[in-house]
Amino acid sequence: MSGFNGLAVPGPTNMPFAIRQAMDVALEDHRAPDFPEFTLPLLADLKRIFRTTTGQIFVFPSTGTGGWEAAIANSLSPGDHVLTSVFGQFSSLWVDLCRRFGLEVDAVEVPWGEGVPLDVYEQKLRADKTHRIKAVLACHNETATGVTSDIAGVRRILDAVGHPALLMVDGVSSIGALDFRMEAWAVDLAVCGSQKGFMLPAGLAIVGVSEKALAARKTAKLPRCFFDFEDMIRANKDGYFPYTPAATMLRGLRASIDMLLAEGLDEVCARHHRLATGVRKAVDAWGLRLCARHPKWNSDTVSAVVVPDGFDANAVIKTAYRTYNLSLGGGLAKVAGKVFRIGHLGYLNELMVLAAVGGAEMAMLDCGIAIEPGSGVGAAIEHYSKTAKRPAVTKAA
């Protein structure tokens, strides 16, 4: 099939040419005397992406799942109580990981399409007078349902109640794309992967750790080896790693950080919001709805679109791929067959999003879903055209 594959899944995202080029290098000696000249500024600049000055960022050759494990294993002990909530595939997989590590998990079940239930967290934390709960977990952006939660709100509750639990946040599909403030929200452990906002291939787990969480490792008794912060701290101090780092990926990460900082984090978030709004206008124009049950949950990085009753979202996804060379995200677990997902994060502009919206529209029409041809694309175009930043026209002398 000629033409590019439209990659509209919520990670891996489109890789900018500058990042590809940065990784098209000869393999290098990660113990070379000048390697720290590259790694020390890299680790320092990652803090700017996580928006922390006092925290430390660790980069493991792994994925987001490894980041979850690193966060848990370095800060908790077997039998520790954690409070979390489940409203999608990823929030539920983190619970599974915690249980396999022998933690006592209070996982509040929330309807899929909603996010972290602040009221329930508040009740439970207030009732926990003896501070049995050692960590509060929150999935910032549930990629399976396109739901963003209020992490600042979780921090406000912890502070209002005076609860000392660690705040652990899954930022896999938010950091580098949505507003995320590790320091302002006093997030203790922030987990990310390389294949979403960072626009890289999968292969790195990037974990932000606060001073409080670093101190917690001294008493945490869960087993750890590969993900041990202690080894990372010792080696990273001098710009090295406790084992062979994914150096080529780190070269790509350098380019990614440079791109994010050059655009500006606020501008990156604003761009995602504008592109996402266009997708939401398209969904409205189709007469369909999002899995997110209220606009306050809408995610600016991924939209999960609910197909009408009697239709199979997987057929839409297959048609989009086979007929139009467009990759849409599938529904996972409880929402399998009910939703398709349009990923709109990373290296993206209006035209790329319009291609995804147009492809989804054609695939739905092919599957017999009664939408007006061009309605979604038209609504998105209208939004992008109205909100475009136009360069100032200078008058000819």
Ligand X SMILES: Cc1ncc(COP(=O)(O)O)c(C=O)c1O
- Summarize as ranges the residues that interact with ligand X (CB under 6 A): 11, 63-65, 90, 139, 141, 143, 170, 172-173, 193, 202
Biggest alpha carbon–alpha carbon distance for the chain: 76
Q: Which residue is nearest to ligand X (CB)?
A: 64
Q: Which is nearer to ligand X, 64 or 358 (CB)?
A: 64
Of residues 156, 150, 212, 175, the one with CA closest to residue 50? 175
DSSP code of residue 207:
E
CB of residue 205 vs ligand X: minimum separation in angstroms? 7
Beta strand extents in the chain (DSSP E only):
6-8, 56-61, 81-86, 104-109, 133-139, 141-142, 147-148, 166-170, 189-193, 204-209, 289-290, 302-306, 326-330, 339-343
Q: Which is nearer to ligand X, 143 or 319 (CB)?
A: 143
CB within 8 A of 150, min separation 6: which ones? 115, 116, 118
CB of residue 122 vs ligand X: minimum separation in angstroms? 23
Residue with tokens 């652990």: 168
DSSP code of residue 321:
H
Q: Which is nearer to ligand X, 6 or 64 (CB)?
A: 64
CB of residue 97 vs ligand X: minimum separation in angstroms? 10
Q: Which is nearer to ligand X, 168 or 364 (CB)?
A: 168
CB of residue 195 vs ligand X: minimum separation in angstroms? 6
Q: Given CA atoms 16, 17, 22, 24 in this order, what sign does their dihedral have?
A: positive
SS (H, E, C) 123-188: HHHHHCCCCCEEEEEEECEECCCCEECCHHHHHHHHHHHCCCCEEEEECCCCCCCCCCCCCCCCCC
Helix (H, G, I), strand (E, B) or coil at 303: strand
Q: Which is nearer to ligand X, 122 or 170 (CB)?
A: 170
Q: Which is nearer to ligand X, 56 or 143 (CB)?
A: 143
Q: Which is nearer to ligand X, 11 or 331 (CB)?
A: 11
CB of residue 88 vs ligand X: minimum separation in angstroms? 8
CB of residue 3 vs ligand X: minimum separation in angstroms? 26
CB of residue 93 vs ligand X: minimum separation in angstroms? 7
CB of residue 259 vs ligand X: minimum separation in angstroms? 20
Q: Which is nearer to ligand X, 144 or 362 (CB)?
A: 144
Question: Dihedral (C-alpha) 319, 325, 329, 335: value to the nearest 10 degrees?
Answer: 0
Between CA 337 and CA 59 the distance in angstroms is: 35
CB of residue 325 vs ligand X: minimum separation in angstroms? 22
- Identify the bridge partners of residue 148 per DSSP, sorted by sequence position: 141
Q: Which is nearer to ligand X, 112 or 324 (CB)?
A: 112
CB within 8 A of 328, min separation 6: which ones? 8, 9, 316, 317, 320, 321, 340, 341, 342, 356, 359, 360, 363
